[in-house]
Amino acid sequence: MAESTLAELPAVAKSIYLECKKCEAERYHKVLAHTTATSAKVECEVCGSKKTYKLPSAKKAAAKKPGTGKPRVARASKAEEHKNEFEKLMGGNGEAQKYNMKLKFENNAKIDHPKFGMGVVRSSLSDKIEVVFQDEVRNLVHNRG
């Protein structure tokens, strides 16, 4: 890099916490490569989507005052929505199956994961399931047997 900048790009292979547009949540992204002195190619560690991360410019940071710009969705409301969805899905009938990646799970099936606890399958593809757990939504593999 020719000039020293106020903020440095994170090292290649390091993880940084950014908003993932595909996951619609803040996730860790792995730095794949530095494309310029102020930008890097990063990949979401959850969904695998790739995007360009750019360092915030000093000019933009100075011009932007707190409380200006587009309003952000409050974390409490997202957390509350997730809690309500989890409780609604868990309220249905049926016994929970122990999670095993070799088993096949259908939509709305309750599962008991050894690490994440109780959850409900929101959507099921041929090899992946999206499961709503109490703390967050996770993508798991299934039907690998």
Contact 50, 42 (CB under 8 A): yes
| 101 and 43 together in one domain | no
H/E element, 121: strand 117-124
| 125 and 89 together in one domain | yes
Average pLDDT over every residue of 99-109: 92
* pLDDT surpassing 50 at residue 47: yes
3-state helix, strand, coil in the chain (%, to 5): 15, 35, 50
Domain that holds residue 116: 75-141
Q: Which residue has the higher pLDDT, 16 or 75?
A: 16
- Does 21 reside within a domain? yes
| 80 and 30 together in one domain | no
Put simply, whether the predicted model's pTM sits higher than 0.95 gets the answer no
- Does 4 reside within a domain? no
Q: Which residue has the higher pLDDT, 82 or 92?
A: 82
Average pLDDT, the chain: 83
- Does 62 reside within a domain? no
Question: What distance in Å separates the CA atoms of residue 16 and residue 30, rounded to the nearest whole number?
Answer: 6
- Does 26 reside within a domain? yes
